[in-house]
Amino acid sequence: MAGNIQAIKGTKDTLPSESYKSQYIEQAALDTAKTYGFHEMRTPVFEYTELFDRSVGETTDVVQKEMYTFNDKGDRSITLRPEGTAGAVRAFLEHGLFNEPLPQKVCYLTSCYRYEKPQAGRLREFHQFGIECFGAGSPLADAEVIALANSYFTFLGLEEYSLEINSIGCPECRKKYQEALKAYFEERKGDLCETCLSRLERNPMRILDCKSPVCSKIAENAPVVLDYICDDCKEHFEKLQKYLDTMNIPYTINAQIVRGLDYYTRTVFEFVSQHEKTKGLVLCGGGRYDGLVEELGGSALPACGLAIGLERLLMAMEESGVQFPEAPKCNLSIVTAGENAMLKAVELSADLRAQGYSVNVDTVGRSIKAQMKYANKIGSEFTVVIGDNELESNIAQLKCMEDGSQTEVSLAEFTECFERAYMNQAVAAFGNADFSNLTQVDINNLLK
């Protein structure tokens, strides 16, 4: 295409042939969240830049390198959201949800924007499913957040992944750790990248999250945060492990996890793909952020949450051969010959669509043969031909496209006749089904 009339690098179009997969995992996310008591919140795509500076952290890669920031016509600094938590906390405070019964449990499906090198599973515009639990300080709240993600992946049929957990302590016990890190990296400052040199004074923990191969290699032998956490944080972490054990959720402790955002405290975790084609891909990350509500102007209030990258999840599912439901089909194509037949088709299609059926009517003036060919191409489950003879006799032939069988139906009672034929076909398919290896996706399809 000429000029800039094309998709921007790092963005992706989702076409109708693929969009049903995204719709499936998004609806499954909301349904899973509902079983844990989380309800949907929607926030604006852009916020004042200060919100992300204060919450995400000025020393993070996100703020320093990746945010889409601009001045609007009122000369105010605006940023496209790079993640979902900051906006959710802002909405929680602005609308006084802290006055509602606690904990407040919210979830969201949202687009996010980060300027980074596009690669598999990493886009500049990407989508997240996130949950936030405000007002619960118990390690059980952490465990429930983790269990929700695990339930979601299990429902989708994803199998080859691992859960890695860590504790980065509270601000008080982390001071000693920060001092130990600073001393360690000071001795190696000559090899650090320019960005990490600036972090050394302000927040040496961010060096652990640097993507530079040299800095990552240096960080491998850095002091471990678990050696510095206080007794309260240690007890919190031990209780979390007991809850996960009780829930039969396997995990490993990974002392290298710190997460890329500054607001985390105590619990941090990641779900990581272990499939050979996507091994090491982080599908989900989250943890506790007990100081963020207060940092953004509220009272001290504990909170925890997670975010799941939907493009990454979709890629992991496809690469590992997870089964998706079939794409939605056209239930009926009404093939017409003549203006009077078209008027009848318009009437019948309106009745059927009101009942929730997908109905196709020719809108481009094709011949009967071309209409049938088109009906076959779009996967119509049934077709019916209406012409002068059918209008005169008030009888038509309803054809099942799968097996070619035909059923005589009354045009006067077409909706009822079609529903019976459609149900009979569904029952026949149900009766011939092989239930020996039934998956959750199969069950969902059968129950539709």
The position carrying tokens 């509270």 is 170
Residues 108, 253 within the same domain = yes
Distance CA 282, CA 273 (A): 6
Domain annotation covers residue 89: yes
Domain annotation covers residue 200: no
Residue 96's Cα: distance from chain center in Å?
27
Residues 35, 94 within the same domain = yes
Closest CA to 415 of 353, 372, 364, 370: 353
Domain annotation covers residue 298: yes
Distance CA 123, CA 11 (A): 6
What range does the domain containing 354 cover?
332-447
Domain annotation covers residue 354: yes
The mean pLDDT of 354-383, rounded to a whole number, is: 95
The mean pLDDT of 155-174, rounded to a whole number, is: 93
Residue 442 sits in a domain whose CATH number is 3.40.50.800
Residues 53, 152 within the same domain = yes
Are the CB atoms for 28 and 62 separated by under 8 Å? no
CA-CA-CA-CA dihedral for 202, 205, 207, 211, to nearest 10: -130
Residues 290, 394 within the same domain = no
Closest CA to 134 of 152, 111, 107, 173: 107
Predicted confidence at residue 56, as pLDDT, reads 80
Peptide bond into 82 cis (omega under 30): no
Residues 313, 338 within the same domain = no
Predicted confidence at residue 260, as pLDDT, reads 64
Residues 297, 381 within the same domain = no
Distance CA 440, CA 119 (A): 31
Domain end: 319, 342, 370, which one? 319
Residues 345, 293 within the same domain = no
pLDDT category, 423, cuts 50, 70, 90? confident
Domain end: 276, 297, 319, which one? 319
Domain annotation covers residue 436: yes
Residues 311, 362 within the same domain = no
Are the CB atoms for 96 and 76 separated by under 8 Å? no
Looking at the predicted structure, is the pLDDT value of residue 230 above 60? yes
Which pTM value belongs to this model? 0.88
Domain end: 269, 289, 319, which one? 319
Predicted confidence at residue 436, as pLDDT, reads 46
Residue 264 sits in a domain whose CATH number is 3.30.930.10
H-type alpha helices, 272-400: 292-295, 310-319, 339-354, 368-377, 388-393
Domain annotation covers residue 191: no
Looking at the predicted structure, is the pLDDT value of residue 201 above 90? no
- DSSP one-letter code for 122: B
Domain annotation covers residue 216: no
The partner residues of 131 in beta bridges, in order of sequence, read 107, 306
Looking at the predicted structure, is the pLDDT value of residue 59 above 70? no
Domain annotation covers residue 184: no
Residues 251, 102 within the same domain = yes
**pLDDT by residue (tens digit) across 124-146?**
999 999 999 999 999 999 999 99
The mean pLDDT of 148-173, rounded to a whole number, is: 94
The mean pLDDT of 75-90, rounded to a whole number, is: 95
Predicted confidence at residue 118, as pLDDT, reads 81
Distance CA 187, CA 323 (A): 52
Q: Number of structural domains, the chain?
A: 2
Residues 311, 413 within the same domain = no
For the purposes of burial, counting CB atoms within 10 Å of the CB of 14, is it exposed (0-12), middle (13-18) or buried (19 or more)?
A: middle
Looking at the predicted structure, is the pLDDT value of residue 249 above 60? yes
Predicted confidence at residue 186, as pLDDT, reads 87
Residues 439, 293 within the same domain = no
Residues 68, 104 within the same domain = yes
